[in-house]
Amino acid sequence: MDYKKVIQEFSHIKSVKGELTLPGDKSISHRAIIFSALAEGISRVKNLSSAEDVNTTKEIFSALGTEYDIHNDELLIKGKGLFAFKKPLTELNSGNSGTSARLITAILGAQKFDSIIMGDESLSKRPMKRVTNPLQKMGMNLTLSNDNYLPLKISAVNKLNPISYCLEVASAQVKSAVLIAGLFIDDITEVIETIPTRNHTELMLGLPIVNSEGGIIIQSSSKYIPKPQKIFVPSDISTASFFIVLTLLMKDSELIIKNVSLNPSRTGILEVLKKMGGNITIVSQSESCGELLGDLLVKSSDLFNIEIPKEIIPNIIDEIPILTIAGIFADGKFKVSDCKELRVKESDRIKSMVYNLRQFGLTVEEYEDGFEFESKELLQNEIVTFESFGDHRIAMAFSIFSLLLEQGGKINNFDCVKISNPQFIEQIKNIIG
Ligand code: S3P
């Protein structure tokens, strides 16, 4: 994907106020498209994410013959079933989207035609073997470049076999890929998960879960082939986190964020921020397609840093960049560890965070699996230009930081925010107090 190398400037703002309604959750939106394309019939999806990553998934299915329509505020997805996809005429471009590449591999690897998945520069450096390993055990014919990276060559297959697979990395993408492949097999495929990861796939497919010693076993088989659904996608909690942290750190601020996903496998960020002294209240709660959602009321707070428990890391993995910004303004030492996975996200997020924090003048200690710094060293003499490294969450985290700084700040290569939230700037403008 080609981004304009925009430098975006942010001036200091004094407070935030009002109400925000954010686009749908990115992870749930990917799954809404994928499972609707697999179902036979028309599914209706409301509040789909506007993220470029989600558009990538949509376009890949378009190339595979899935048709869409828009009716009022709903996306209509005309699924044709597991084996009605057409052989793509060209390579399928997964752009910057790891979720698209990893989940769709599980579908293409079960087809009777060959295909190729490629990605942009960042995605082509991210590990794919974690997904192809179990899928090859199920009988898929997959060949990665340099044994771990995109482009991935997928050859036609005749028959797949079920496996019982214990996750080697705490990854919802790997878990989902194996469970999706299981839909193509009559016998039961099992995924054993010892560290909880986001569970949107299990919820949307209605898969059975068995408790076992030290974890859970999730089962999948052709019995759970998705049917057309009406889906309301709750708003993205990862996107909301940027505005939650901004509100907490601003003086005299109060914000309501509507219909936010409150799936417990994603709300770790709320738990951590509340333990840090954050004034966050859930003011209403409901459910849609098994997913919890609700309105959040956030108020200015004095934060202090806490020890972040190891077990919560997979739950907050996408929120660590913005949590770090909260950590800068909170009392005491900020430390994250056990997050080696950050090194293989859209950028090496440990390196990206450490670079920008040092750029600002903080003394930061970098580790293989995290970093630490003492907060309250906010002496700034000149406007700092932060580097996004083409990573949307790094760009948004330092945009929020810039809004909080007396002299503001600049973000280099800001355009990448489109990956998850193309309306980021308008949303900020809407809540300036
Ligand atoms: C995602 C899972 C997580 C997360 C990513 C989206 C998903 O990745 O970081 O942004 O939708 O399944 P991993 O599965 O690699 O942990």
Express each pLDDT in 353-362 by its tens digit.
999 999 999 9
The reply to whether 93 and 239 lie within a common domain is no
Last residue within a domain, chosen from 212, 228, 244: 228
Cα of 30 vs centre of ligand 1, distance in Å, is: 11
The reply to whether 69 and 162 lie within a common domain is yes
Predicted model pTM: 0.98
CA distances from 106 to 138, 152, 384 (A): 10, 12, 44
The reply to whether 240 and 344 lie within a common domain is yes
The whole-number pLDDT of residue 2 equals 52
Neighbour tally for 327: CB within 10 Å = 25
The reply to whether 267 and 416 lie within a common domain is yes
pLDDT at 252 over 90: yes
**Residue 283 CB burial class (10 angstroms; 0-12, 13-18, ≥19):** exposed
Neighbour tally for 90: CB within 10 Å = 9
Q: Which atom of ligand 1 is nearest to the CA of 201?
A: 12
Q: Is the residue at 64 inside a domain?
A: yes
Q: Which atom of ligand 1 is nearest to the CA of 238?
A: 10
The reply to whether 256 and 335 lie within a common domain is yes
3-state secondary structure 3-70: CCCCEEEECCCCCEEEEEECCECHHHHHHHHHHHHHCEEEEEEECCCCCHHHHHHHHHHHHCCCEEEE
Cα of 176 vs centre of ligand 1, distance in Å, is: 10
Q: Is the residue at 181 inside a domain?
A: yes
CATH code, domain carrying 77: 3.65.10.10
The reply to whether 147 and 270 lie within a common domain is no
The whole-number pLDDT of residue 1 equals 47
pLDDT at 381 over 90: no
The whole-number pLDDT of residue 382 equals 83
Q: Is the residue at 114 inside a domain?
A: yes
Neighbour tally for 213: CB within 10 Å = 5
The reply to whether 218 and 288 lie within a common domain is no
Q: Is the residue at 382 inside a domain?
A: yes
pLDDT at 3 over 70: no
* Mutation test residue for ligand 1: of 35, 167, 171, the one with most atoms within 8 Å of CB: 171
Last residue within a domain, chosen from 196, 228, 260: 228
Please tell me if the CB atom of residue 198 comes closer than 6 angstroms to any atom of ligand 1. yes
Token readout for 320 is 């660590």
Q: Is the residue at 1 inside a domain?
A: no
The reply to whether 20 and 30 lie within a common domain is no
Q: Whose Cα sits closest to atom 4 in ligand 1?
A: 318
Structure confidence by residue, pLDDT tens digits, 152-183: 999 999 999 999 999 999 999 999 999 999 99
The reply to whether 213 and 274 lie within a common domain is no
Cα–Cα distance, 135 to 129 (Å, whole number): 10
The boundaries of the domain holding residue 41 are 26-228
Cα–Cα distance, 375 to 396 (Å, whole number): 20
Cα of 171 vs centre of ligand 1, distance in Å, is: 6
Please tell me if the CB atom of residue 173 comes closer than 6 angstroms to any atom of ligand 1. yes
The reply to whether 325 and 354 lie within a common domain is yes
224: helix, strand or coil = helix
Q: What percent of the chain has pLDDT over 90?
A: 96
How many structural domains does the chain have? 2
The reply to whether 162 and 98 lie within a common domain is yes
Structure confidence by residue, pLDDT tens digits, 391-422: 999 999 999 999 999 999 999 999 999 999 99
Q: Is the residue at 283 inside a domain?
A: yes
Q: Is the residue at 295 inside a domain?
A: yes
Cα–Cα distance, 389 to 395 (Å, whole number): 8
Q: Which atom of ligand 1 is nearest to the CA of 169?
A: 16
Q: Is the residue at 2 inside a domain?
A: no
Q: What is the DSSP letter of 86?
A: P
Cα–Cα distance, 433 to 253 (Å, whole number): 8
Structure confidence by residue, pLDDT tens digits, 120-158: 999 999 999 999 999 999 999 999 999 999 999 999 999
CA distances from 328 to 57, 165, 379, 410 (A): 36, 40, 12, 18
H-helix or E-strand spanning residue 93:
strand 92-93
Last residue within a domain, chosen from 204, 228, 252: 228
Structure confidence by residue, pLDDT tens digits, 43-100: 999 999 999 999 999 999 999 999 999 999 999 999 999 999 999 999 999 999 999 9
The reply to whether 255 and 180 lie within a common domain is no
Structure confidence by residue, pLDDT tens digits, 178-194: 999 999 999 999 999 99
pLDDT at 5 over 80: no
Q: Where are the beta strands (DSSP E) in 345-388?
A: 364-367, 370-374, 384-387
| Alpha carbon of residue 421 to chain centroid | 11
Cα–Cα distance, 371 to 413 (Å, whole number): 24
Binned at pLDDT 50, 70 and 90, residue 7 comes out as very high
Structure confidence by residue, pLDDT tens digits, 190-242: 999 999 999 999 999 999 999 998 899 999 999 999 999 999 999 999 999 99
Q: Whose Cα sits closest to atom 10 in ligand 1?
A: 318
